[in-house]
Copies of this chain bind each other. A is one copy, B any other.
Amino acid sequence: MLYFRNDYGAGAHPAVLEALCGSNAELTPGYGTDRYCRRAAETVRSLCRCPEAAVHFLVGGTQTNKTALAAFLRPYEAVVSAASGHICVHEAGAVEQDGHAILRLPAPDGKLTPDLLRAAMAGPVNEHTVVPRLAYISNTTELGTVYSGAELRSLREACSELGLLLYCDGARLGSAMAAGDTDFSDYAAACDAFTIGGTKNGLLFGEALVIVNPALQPGFRNCMKQQGAMLAKGRLLGVQFEAVLRDGLYLSLASHANALAKRLAESLEKSGIPLLVQAESNQVFPILPDRAVEALRQDVEFEVERKMDGARTCIRFVTAWHTAEADVDALLELLENLEK
C-alpha cells in the first residue's frame, strides 16, 4: 500500500528519535522549564532574528491555535480567515469554544489578501457586531499554496492599517519556507505571532509558538496550563525541536517532501490530469474520474478533497520527509495504468 494520505503517518525522523532516546534517562524540571526548551527557544529566537520573542512549545496544532487565540483576544473580538482555513474546517469549533467568532472569507486558493481583508472590514463594526481583531493565515495553506515574502509584507501592512493582528499557523511552515522565498525571520517581521510546526515535519509531535508582539506575551503560560496545553515532560518538545532546528534538518526534510510533490505534480500535468490548484509545496490535488479514484484505493492511501461534479473527484496526495522516490514512481505508474 502506497502512503500519500498525510504527513503525519510515521513517527519521528531518526535524528529526533535518537535525541529523545539519548536524553531519556535525564531528570529535568517539568513543564518546559528545562534546559532543552531554553536552548530550543534560544535557537528559534536566533533563527527569527527576534531576541525579544516569547517562544512556547505545545503538543498539537489545534491546541496551539486555540490557546493562542484565546490568550490574544478579548471576549467580543473575532478572527478573520479564509473559509478553507484549518480553524474553520478541521478543528471542531475549537476557536469558537473559547468564545470567538470566525469570519470566513472566500479565497479559492486558500490565501487571504489585503483586498479580502479590506472588504471584510468595510462593513460596519460596532457594539452590535463582532469586532474583527486577528487575521489568521496558514503557510502553507490547506491547499498547499504558499505566501511569498512580498505577500506577507503586504498582509502586514493591511493588518496594521486595519487594526488587525496577524497570526500565521505554520503547521507546514517548513514546507512553505522550502517552497518560497521566506525564512523564519520573515514571519517574525510580518506576524504578531506564528507557529513552527513539528508534527508534520519530522517530530513525534510539537508546535513552537513564537509571540513577537510584546503586548501578547504576558500570561501566556497561564493560558497554556488552563487549556491543558502544557506538557508535563515538556523537555520532550525542546529535545525534538533542537534536533531539527540546530543544523537545518527542519528545512531539508521539507525540501525533500516538496521536491517529490513537484515531480508528482509535473508528471500528472504532463499526463493531462488537471490539478485543483497549482502544486507549490508538498500537497497535490489531482482531479480524477470517480472510477479512477475507486480503482486507486486498492493500492494507495489518500484523502478525498471534494466531489467536483457527478463524475470527477478531487483527491489529495501528500508527500512527507519519509516518502521515498520509489513511492512516487510507483504511484505514477499506477496512475498511468488507470488512465488507460
Binding site for B on A (CB under 8 A): 3, 5-6, 8-12, 14, 17, 20-21, 23-31, 59-67, 70-71, 74-76, 78, 89-94, 96-102, 104, 127-131, 199-200, 204-205, 219, 221-233, 236, 301, 322
Interface centre among A10, A21, A67, A92 (most CB of B within 10 A): A92
Which B residues lie within 8 Å of A67 (CB)? 228
Whether B11 pairs with A91 at a CB distance below 8 angstroms is no
Whether A226 pairs with B8 at a CB distance below 8 angstroms is no
Which B residues lie within 8 Å of A232 (CB)? 8, 60-61, 199-200, 205
Which B residues lie within 8 Å of A21 (CB)? 17, 21
Whether B127 pairs with A222 at a CB distance below 8 angstroms is yes
Q: Report the bound CA distance from A222 to B201 in whole Å.
A: 25
**Which among B30, B61, B94 is the interface contact of A8 at CB below 8 angstroms?**
B30
**Which among B12, B30, B236 is the interface contact of A24 at CB below 8 angstroms?**
B12
Closest residue of B by beta carbon distance from A2: B27
Not counting A5-B27, A14-B24, A97-B226, a sample of 10 additional A-B residue pairs whose C-beta atoms are within 8 angstroms of each other reads A11-B26, A11-B233, A21-B21, A70-B75, A74-B223, A75-B223, A78-B96, A94-B225, A127-B225, A205-B231
**Which among B61, B92, B229, B233 is the interface contact of A130 at CB below 8 angstroms?**
B92
Which B residues lie within 8 Å of A14 (CB)? 24
Q: Please state the number of chain copies in the assembly.
A: 4
**Considering the complex of A and B, which 9 residue pairs feature the smallest CB-CB distances, nearest first?**
A63-B228, A11-B24, A92-B225, A76-B222, A93-B130, A92-B226, A9-B27, A96-B101, A127-B221
Whether B29 pairs with A5 at a CB distance below 8 angstroms is yes
Q: Report the bound CA distance from A59 to B70 in whole Å.
A: 20
Whether A76 pairs with B223 at a CB distance below 8 angstroms is yes
